Amino acid sequence: MSRLTRRQALGAGAAAGLAVVGAAPPAPAAPATAAAPAAVRRRTVHGTPQPFDEVYLGRRIQGGPSHSGGHHAHHADGWIVRIDGQELHVMRNADGTWISVVNHYEPQATPRALARAAVLELQGASLVPLDLA
């Protein structure tokens, strides 16, 4: 009579788990811009976002055209976004979505949505100025 070892039991359990996972249908791949619905992305590609100045979750967020034409102006289509007066480095993607240094892998449909997402990600922390000189 053979005795089942711990290694054999773990191996059998792992094999059974892999068999279940392998039998499950593959999950559909999410698009890279899942945060912005297709209709919004199409509208923002050719359109100009609206300036904003509001308090969101106790933080003042502002966004509008950049008149300085500084170093970052070409990345953000001439836009500047601020959180509590500190500039948030933003960039516009080729598909019209926006990303920032705070949430680089979560594209947003508009600069306002991007600023709001950054406020959520900061969780009350201050935005540290980014110096790329």
- Tens-digit pLDDT profile for residues 3-41: 777 777 667 666 665 555 555 555 555 444 455 455 444
Q: Tell me the whole-structure pTM to 2 decimals.
A: 0.60
DSSP secondary structure of 19-58: HHHHHSPPPPPPPTTTTS-HHHHHHHHHS-PPPEEEEETT
The predicted pLDDT at position 76 comes to 60
pLDDT of 117 above 70: yes
- Smallest Cα–Cα separation from 43: which of 96, 92, 94? 96
The predicted pLDDT at position 48 comes to 82
pLDDT of 49 above 60: yes
Q: Is the dihedral of CA 66, 70, 76, 80 positive or negative?
A: negative
The predicted pLDDT at position 41 comes to 45
Q: What CATH topology corresponds to 38-122?
A: protein ne1242 fold (3.30.1880)
pLDDT of 2 above 60: yes
Q: Residue 132: pLDDT band by 50, 70, 90 thresholds?
A: low
The predicted pLDDT at position 8 comes to 72
The predicted pLDDT at position 91 comes to 93
